[in-house]
Structure 1
């Protein structure tokens, strides 16, 4: 997908439609609709409902928590009425608040499912590491005034790569039935005053990335040694772990699907890191049972119609990071 692409206004889209959605999560309780607080899901469904003149329900690739941002949240819905690509994008954006935007809309196969067919989710946690408090970046980066050793953080984080029980990094209220997740990679790098934790996995537990970030900051400051992450992982006890990092530094930047769905590729966010030049879907995926299964290769004992009933919850488990 080029940076500038023509939006078709001549052919109505019917059937299942996928959207790429960007949002600043500062003013929302998170993605999921709640009765007592504003949510991104509610705002998007209301805007799409005005375009369709009838209620629209959307499903997302991964729920985000309060204050967390997204540059590539993938959602799908079944269009209740035919509308053009341009109408879905421009119409939704005309009815959305300024902190949420639809980036693109494309027709997808009827079997596409934003959540259950995602092969990977990728996040970037952005830390502004400088002595003075941030101004322009205050809502989309976490401020750390003490010097951080990003190389030490990166080395300490590598013990997390692979399939593990991440109980030490899940929130106390996490509702996932299994704490097992497959973490594909985690990288910590510095770009001037920005220290970025770049992490991808099949799925994440509630607060998992923010808890990992909190522990890595302790390592980077020198409060903990380089073996700290491995000890936490082995403990499988959240009560023994470090603080949860703030939500404002966390950005949902990619959700990966099988190539047959041909979703648009776009520069990886957030725009603070646009100079890196990486686009979505560039990193290779590991050869794992979940990836093989979601690419259409059946596995013994897995029922695709009832994922919630399977013992292999790690293949389907998802909670808010």
Structure 2
């Protein structure tokens, strides 16, 4: 048996998340269906982690074992011919039998994009959250440093989680902005929050973003972020930001 590892991208708009669910269209189901069409095998495709309904991936890492003799350099082309157009395999390689895309992952990076302009961008509408009024970007930035390092992120985790250990380490939390040539002013039109950590709790990035948006709106102060973090209480944080703005950007091993 061969253990194959792939880097894939997907637009999560049409899917009920990554993980297979009864009577639901998911990314994992589509991948396993494509392998079955190609080789006749029923495989379990392992990913670096689950993404929720509507969440995207730029560089998700998956692996599965197969007895197929197809040369590794032909796998991406063959899979892509059998996958829907919103899922694409970019790289393939044969890895040791012990490799497990989730257990071996050391760092993950997520990017959340906010469209901060009066009107949405029709070409990016599936990949960013539209916020039509002004956000105080500097106040949002000032709230970020306290999140760096190892913390209990209970305040930024859904109460539906089954994870008992809510301690995670964030290595990088930064914000990027850009203007839009379609706008007549030089105001910020797009905000990206980029977060790298050793792991993430369920809805963690989206709850952080929901809290940051409230800070940007002036409903909370920058210093509230530390108070919320230390409270270890989901009720203290802001709402869960919408899924479409979130993309799994990179997985490191």
Please say if residues 151 and 188 of structure 1, whose CA atoms lie closer than 8 Å, have aligned partners that are also in contact.
Answer: no
Compute the displacement of 1:27 (Å): 0.8
Residues of 2 paired with 1:155 and 1:239: CA distance?
22
TM-score by length of 1: 0.74
1:207 aligns with 203
Residues of 2 paired with 1:109 and 1:154: CA distance?
42
1:196 aligns with 192
TM-score by length of 2: 0.93
Indicate whether 1:139 and 2:126 are aligned: yes
Aligned length: 244
Residues of 2 paired with 1:247 and 1:154: CA distance?
21
Indicate whether 1:222 and 2:222 are aligned: no
1:53 aligns with 40
Of the three residues 92, 95, 114, the one matched with 1:127 is 114
2:4 aligns with 17
Q: Which consecutive segments of 4 or more residues in structure 1 shift more than 6 A?
A: none
Q: Secondary structure at the match of 1:251?
A: strand
What pairs up with 1:1-321 in 2 under 5 angstroms? 15-192=2-179, 193-257=189-253
Q: Secondary structure at the match of 1:233?
A: helix
Q: Secondary structure at the match of 1:115?
A: coil
Residues of 2 paired with 1:151 and 1:119: CA distance?
31
> How far does the alpha carbon of each residue in 1:83-117 deviate from its partner, in whole angstroms, 9 at most, with x for none?
11243111111111111111111111222110111
Residues of 2 paired with 1:181 and 1:122: CA distance?
13
Q: CA RMSD in A?
A: 1.1
Residues of 1 paired with 2:81 and 2:120: CA distance?
35
Residues of 1 paired with 2:134 and 2:25: CA distance?
36
Compute the displacement of 1:64 (Å): 0.5
Residues of 1 paired with 2:224 and 2:144: CA distance?
9
Please say if residues 41 and 66 of structure 2, whose CA atoms lie closer than 8 Å, have aligned partners that are also in contact.
Answer: no
Q: Secondary structure at the match of 2:69?
A: strand
> How far does the alpha carbon of each residue in 1:239-275 deviate from its partner, in whole angstroms, 9 at most, with x for none?
2221110000000010000xxxxxxxxxxxxxxxxxx
Which consecutive unaligned segments of at least 5 residues does structure 1 have? Answer: 1-13, 258-321
> Which of the pair has the greater relative contact order for Cα pairs under 8 Å at 6+ separation?
2
Q: Secondary structure at the match of 2:135?
A: coil
Please say if residues 210 and 244 of structure 1, whose CA atoms lie closer than 8 Å, have aligned partners that are also in contact.
Answer: yes
Which consecutive unaligned segments of at least 5 residues does structure 2 have? Answer: 180-188
